[in-house]
Structure 1
Amino acid sequence: MKKIGFLFAVSLLLLSVIGCGNTTNNGGTKSSNAQATGESGEKAKYKIAISQIVEHPSLDATREGFLAALKDAGIVEGDNLQVDYSNAQGDQTNNMTIAQKIAGEKYDLVLAIATAPAQAVVQQVKNSPILFAAVTDPLDAKVVSNLDHPGGNVSGASDTNPEAISKLMDFVAGNFKDVKTVGVVINQGEPNAVVMTNLAEKALEKHGIKLVKASVTNTSEVKQAAESLVGRADALYITLDNTVVEAVNTVIQVANENDLPFFSSDRDTVEKGAFATVGFKYFDHGYQVGQMAVDVLKNGKKVGDMKVTVPDKLDVILNLKAAAEQGIEVTDAMKEQVKDQENNILK
């Protein structure tokens, strides 16, 4: 009887150990999708979902940077990483449908790129860690309630440092004395665009410069809105407004044809033909979020314990070719404000 009792106790102990080995994926611990490296030396395998609001250079570069950070950490798409990528094509109904689909499956991590996908994913997905990128104001969007200690299963990186907007408006006021009004094309249905426009307006007010708005509801209206600012504005400006950025070539065309200095909130738009911004590379922004993902996937860190970050490598970025198209004389004083002249004065 003693022997039988001993064997029974051992069996209970083994069952207890096996039971403790099962973990959940709420906020950072590995789910059943992530297979830990075993005695065979096989790599852990991961499954992530990416929801992106629309295709344009900044958001695409964010996604590419994110995946590059994973690759550098040995998490490689097509090898030990499965990526389920969805693009809402700017449609809010699609956006919510994508979030609901993600919520119905099991992922080791979910990445939401831009404000609307982040809002939808946070609302729907409760069983996977969530990181967001390219979100202008996570607090205003109610994606998180605390930037230093988000809590729950959500964290990420904002793509807006308010200092960048104020510095750009200071650049406009300091170098363009004839500019008394700045026109902005804006979809006021995008919270991120509204927040950034308000910041720009307050910064311009300090210099006695007025901001004039031309509203749009979709990309097909952007060209007409930009044209409506001709004669009403001395310069043009756009925020990280997904609706407007998607049709930014039409704004560039209007600026070039009417010799209007055109300022943007992102480097990618300057590379396409805006004259100047104070900004950063969206690839770097995505890479930063990717490093957070590595901490979650490989190190078991909980996203709710990770501080929401903002871009910290800000610099003035100038496009000399765009300057010529828009009738701008680029002075030495302008160039001196560029810290990294080799990479941020585009020729």
Structure 2
Amino acid sequence: MNNLARRTFLIAAGMLFAGPLLADDRLGKVRPRVGFLSPVSPGKRDKAFVSGMEALGWIPGDTIDIDLRFAEGQPARLPGLVDELLALKPDVLVAGSTIGARAAIEAEASVPIVFAGSSDPVAAGLVKNLRHPGGNITGFSLAYGDGFAGKWLQLLKETVPELRHVALIWSSSNPAARRFVEEVSRVAAKLQIQLEVYHAKDRTELDAALSSVESSGVGGFIVAPSPFAVSERKLLVAFSDRNRLPAIYFSESFPDDGGLMSYGPDIPDVYRRAAAHVDRILKGADPGELPVERPNKFDLVVNLRAAEAIGVTIPVSLLLRANRVID
């Protein structure tokens, strides 16, 4: 082999062995990483977010890496999960609910944050205002605005016209929950309904609250929004069924699991739409200049099987307004 041929061979061999390394390095630079933090268990929310990313061309394991972490309804786990995700050096951190976003902020994360499903991000101190959130954060609210919580009691009263005594279960795991209590209390006074309020931020408190509700003689109950309530929805639905108590919830996941009815924003759709903000940030947008968006859909869901099981007849007028009826 002459010198020219030998040199050509060595260059070609070097490129052959270096090629995969160069390709891997290049992939490492162009394939972004997203951290996803959920205060609840795996389910419709994370699936909706991943589906939203895929619809925008971000395929996990191909064009993007998505790391998922779940607090399983235990807020105390959130700071540790945030640390795990930040250690992976994500380009964007998606945080479910207000408490998830707060955990990311308190970790002093410099990475862009997109929250999905905050009841009131301004009141919670997540953003300055909805149009210009500022800093390194933006996201999607659930738009539980003034007067929204009162609709749960109005719908329950429409379902059971003779209703005179109601329990409300709320959790401080949702920082906006005190406002729900105030609004339901105002509507209860207007409708001349006796309201009993029970706080439950963990399983011990929830067991005690349900025991009190069971012996109180109430004719129905309301479950206010919180990640903890979502994680305990099967217990809450089973309690309603066992005691033949009409109940209204804030998320369709409850009637899907056998609850009577729910009214609230389409939460999985909020997570799906959060993917659009992530897409914009990955393409160079400033999160602090992306407006916080509101839900597009508010759904009334009624489960007729649950109604039959507890001996309740759903009024036709309510069924006609329902977005979905489970029968």
Q: Which TM class, normalised by the smaller chain length?
A: 0.7 to 0.9
Runs (5+) with no aligned partner, structure 1: 1-31, 36-43
- Residue identity matched to 1:120: A
Does 89-98 or 130-139 show the bigger shift?
89-98
Q: Report the equivalent of 1:96.
A: 79
- Residue identity matched to 1:282: I
Per-residue deviation, 1:84: 2.0
Q: Report the equivalent of 1:74.
A: 57
Q: Does 1:170 align with 2:147?
A: no
**2:242 equivalent among 248, 252, 257:** 257
Q: Report the equivalent of 2:259.
A: 274
SS at match of 2:36: strand
Q: Report the equivalent of 1:16.
A: none
**1:294-323 C-alpha deviation (Å, 9 max, x unpaired):** 12223x221111221222312321110111
**Rounded Cα–Cα distance in structure 1 between residues aligned with 2:160 and 2:75:** 39
**1:314-342 C-alpha deviation (Å, 9 max, x unpaired):** 2321110111122111221221222x4xx
In the alignment, is the contact (CA less than 8 A) between 2:153 and 2:222 conserved in 1? no
**Rounded Cα–Cα distance in structure 2 between residues aligned with 1:108 and 1:337:** 42
In the alignment, is the contact (CA less than 8 A) between 1:183 and 1:232 conserved in 2? no
Q: Report the equivalent of 2:14.
A: none
Q: Report the equivalent of 1:106.
A: 89
Q: Tell me: CA distance 1:94–1:277, structure 2 relative to 1, closer, same or farther (3 Å).
A: closer
**Rounded Cα–Cα distance in structure 1 between residues aligned with 2:143 and 2:27:** 33
Runs (5+) with no aligned partner, structure 2: 1-25
Q: Does 1:61 align with 2:11?
A: no
**1:264-284 C-alpha deviation (Å, 9 max, x unpaired):** 011111211221122243221
**2:116 equivalent among 124, 128, 133:** 133
**Rounded Cα–Cα distance in structure 2 between residues aligned with 1:99 and 1:245:** 20
Q: Tell me: CA distance 1:297–1:189, structure 2 relative to 1, closer, same or farther (3 Å).
A: closer
- Residue identity matched to 2:267: Y
Query: Where does 1:1-347 land on structure 2 (aligned, <5 Å)?
Result: 35=29, 44-55=30-41, 60-162=43-145, 164-230=148-214, 231-298=216-283, 300-338=284-322, 340=323, 344-347=324-327
In the alignment, is the contact (CA less than 8 A) between 2:244 and 2:311 conserved in 1? yes
Q: Tell me: CA distance 1:326–1:127, structure 2 relative to 1, closer, same or farther (3 Å).
A: same
Structure 2 length normalisation: TM-score? 0.83
Q: Report the equivalent of 1:19.
A: none
Per-residue deviation, 1:221: 4.1
**Rounded Cα–Cα distance in structure 2 between residues aligned with 1:69 and 1:34:** 23
Per-residue deviation, 1:92: 4.0
Per-residue deviation, 1:69: 1.1
Q: Tell me: CA distance 1:145–1:210, structure 2 relative to 1, closer, same or farther (3 Å).
A: farther
**Rounded Cα–Cα distance in structure 2 between residues aligned with 1:292 and 1:159:** 16
**Rounded Cα–Cα distance in structure 2 between residues aligned with 1:169 and 1:109:** 39
- Residue identity matched to 2:188: L
Q: How many residues align?
A: 300
Q: Tell me: CA distance 1:146–1:290, structure 2 relative to 1, closer, same or farther (3 Å).
A: same
Which ranges of 4 or more aligned residues in structure 1 deviate by more than 4 Å?
none
**Rounded Cα–Cα distance in structure 1 between residues aligned with 2:138 and 2:131:** 10
**1:182-241 C-alpha deviation (Å, 9 max, x unpaired):** 212233354243333333333333322232122224124424422321334211111222
Q: Tell me: CA distance 1:333–1:91, structure 2 relative to 1, closer, same or farther (3 Å).
A: closer
In the alignment, is the contact (CA less than 8 A) between 2:52 and 2:276 conserved in 1? yes
**Rounded Cα–Cα distance in structure 1 between residues aligned with 2:270 and 2:90:** 23
